[in-house]
């Protein structure tokens, strides 16, 4: 008997980069497929918190993933320390493919492996350090929500199932559709809420491990009632609230990264760091400023992705020679602006502060500061709110100096290690 590939659907709940009509149609087909699957509100969020639910998907054999660009998906899993197997992974790109194409491939028996593995001419100087971070703490993970439709339960209709999935995913919940009792507690050690329409005794789900599981008979529940039950269980267990953080952060493509440390030197917000073997990593993803892709603009190899970004190659699409030429022109943003970028920030911040102190008019000072920073925002595609929230000139100076020193030290140590 052939085992069907596992299925993962990403709802991309926190951004409008996947066409609504596409993901709606794909989810509707999936809900009516009769197959078990994992539906996650946002794959980026799972990657950032190194969610344990990614492990069985990465290690469980063949898997099909309906999400975004294959390059982005590959490195989202890798950055969560759960690399996908190239020979058994197929990525369906809902940002570019039609709903019919995605649905046919997702639910068809054939798997067409398409995980990118091309290495840039520069060669990979940085590999993913698997031991850089400690494992995720299941107690700090959002609870796992299961729609159980196996033996001992009455399945929802296709329309009811689609309505439940849509309501839960839109609110940030990730959902597993499970058809076998033994699969309920098979994924990880998190708290689990099982919802089913039971028509008799509740099946034995993982005997001896019921302390981390609650079962609810959802007979007659509409989507609003299901959401109430899920939130009540979450609040009672004090697990993190679904969708509490907008997952915007850089994802490094280590097939392209040369470990040049441009990103570490550039970022003022302590997003980047180095591993024990002096390789660039994303250390504090939550520090990243929402909708700001500025660090990707200084990467000479187009190795930094923001999967929710509007255009390529930053959104994870294929990198072309034209992209590399364009990015090479942007590497020295400070030169384009006619001077050191942080000196410019300090100068304009000081000007805005001086104007405010003289005129005692906060509105006028704010307008002046916005005007001064317009050019910088346009050059690096930095959201105005990020620039307006920059720290004092002295703090900018301190952070920039500290980041540059960290990058220089890492490169020096790496060089010594390679010599040895």
| Full pLDDT tens readout for the chain, 420 residues | 467 899 999 999 998 899 999 999 999 999 999 999 999 999 999 999 888 889 989 988 999 999 999 999 999 999 999 999 999 999 999 999 999 999 999 999 999 999 997 644 343 333 444 434 444 555 567 788 999 999 999 999 999 999 999 999 999 999 999 998 888 876 667 788 999 999 888 887 765 455 678 889 999 999 999 999 999 988 888 887 877 778 999 999 999 999 988 888 888 888 999 988 889 999 999 999 988 888 888 888 899 999 999 988 999 999 988 877 766 655 444 333 333 444 554 554 555 455 444 444 545 544 544 555 566 566 667 777 776 666 666 676 677 777 778 778 877 877 777 776
Question: What CA–CA distance (Å, rounded) separates 302 from 122?
Answer: 12
Tokens (6 digits) for 286: 């939550």
Q: Taking CA 11 as the corner, what is the angle to CA 8 and CA 12, rounded to the nearest 5 degrees?
A: 120
Backbone angles phi, psi at 376, to 5 degrees: -65, -40
Rounded Cα distance, 200 and 364, in Å: 70
pLDDT of residue 198: 92
Q: Is the dihedral of CA 255, 73, 94, 287 positive or negative?
A: negative
- Check if the beta carbon of residue 262 is closer than 8 Å to that of residue 410: no
Instruction: State the virtual CA torsion across 324, 329, 330, 335 in degrees, nearest 10.
Output: 160
Taking CA atoms, 274 is separated from 45, 132, 157, in Å, by: 22, 9, 50
How far apart (Å, rounded) are the C-alpha atoms in residues 155 and 205? 17
Percent composition of the chain: helix, strand, coil (DSSP 3-state, to 5): 45, 10, 45
How many Å apart are CA 223 and CA 169, to the nearest integer?
A: 11
Spatial CB neighbours of 117, under 8 Å, sequence gap ≥ 6: 86, 255
């Amino acid at each position: 008997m052939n085992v069907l590939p596992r299925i993962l659907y990403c709802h991309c709940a926190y951004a409008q980069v996947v066409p609504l009509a596409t993901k709606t149609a794909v989810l509707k087909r999936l809900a009516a497929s009769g197959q078990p699957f994992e539906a996650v509100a946002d794959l980026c969020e799972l990657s950032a918190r190194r969610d344990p639910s990614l492990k069985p998907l990465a290690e469980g054999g063949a898997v099909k993933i309906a999400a975004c660009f294959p390059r982005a998906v590959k490195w989202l899993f890798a950055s969560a320390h759960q690399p996908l197997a190239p020979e058994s992974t197929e990525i369906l790109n809902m940002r570019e493919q039609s709903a019919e194409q995605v649905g046919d491939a997702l639910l068809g028996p054939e798997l067409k492996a398409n995980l990118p593995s091309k290495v840039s001419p520069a060669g990979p100087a940085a590999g993913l350090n698997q031991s850089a971070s400690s494992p995720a703490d299941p107690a700090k993970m959002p609870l796992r929500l299961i729609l159980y439709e196996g033996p001992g339960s009455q399945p929802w209709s296709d329309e009811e199932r689609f309505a439940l999935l849509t309501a839960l995913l839109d609110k940030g919940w990730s959902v597993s559709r499970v058809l076998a009792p033994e699969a309920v507690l098979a994924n990880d050690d998190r708290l689990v809420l099982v919802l089913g329409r039971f028509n008799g005794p509740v099946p034995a789900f993982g005997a001896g491990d019921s302390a981390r599981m609650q079962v609810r008979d959802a007979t007659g529940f509409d989507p609003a009632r299901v959401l109430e039950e899920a939130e009540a269980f979450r609040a009672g267990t004090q697990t993190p609230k679904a969708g509490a953080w907008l997952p915007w952060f850089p994802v490094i493509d280590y097939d392209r990264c040369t470990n040049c440390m441009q990103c570490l030197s550039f970022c003022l917000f302590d997003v980047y760091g180095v591993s024990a073997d002096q390789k660039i990593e994303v250390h504090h993803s939550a520090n990243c400023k929402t909708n700001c892709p500025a660090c990707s603009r200084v990467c000479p190899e187009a190795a930094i992705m923001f999967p929710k970004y509007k255009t390529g190659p930053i959104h994870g699409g294929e990198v072309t020679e034209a992209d590399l030429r364009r990015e090479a022109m942007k590497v020295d943003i400070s030169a384009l602006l006619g001077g050191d970028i942080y000196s410019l920030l300090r100068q304009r911040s000081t000007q805005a502060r001086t104007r405010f102190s003289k005129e005692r008019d906060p509105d006028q000072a704010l307008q002046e500061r916005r005007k001064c920073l317009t050019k910088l925002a346009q050059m690096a595609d930095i959201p105005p709110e990020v620039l307006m929230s920059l720290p004092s000139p002295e703090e900018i100076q301190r952070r920039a100096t500290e980041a540059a020193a960290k990058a220089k030290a890492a490169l020096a140590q790496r060089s010594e290690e390679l010599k040895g």
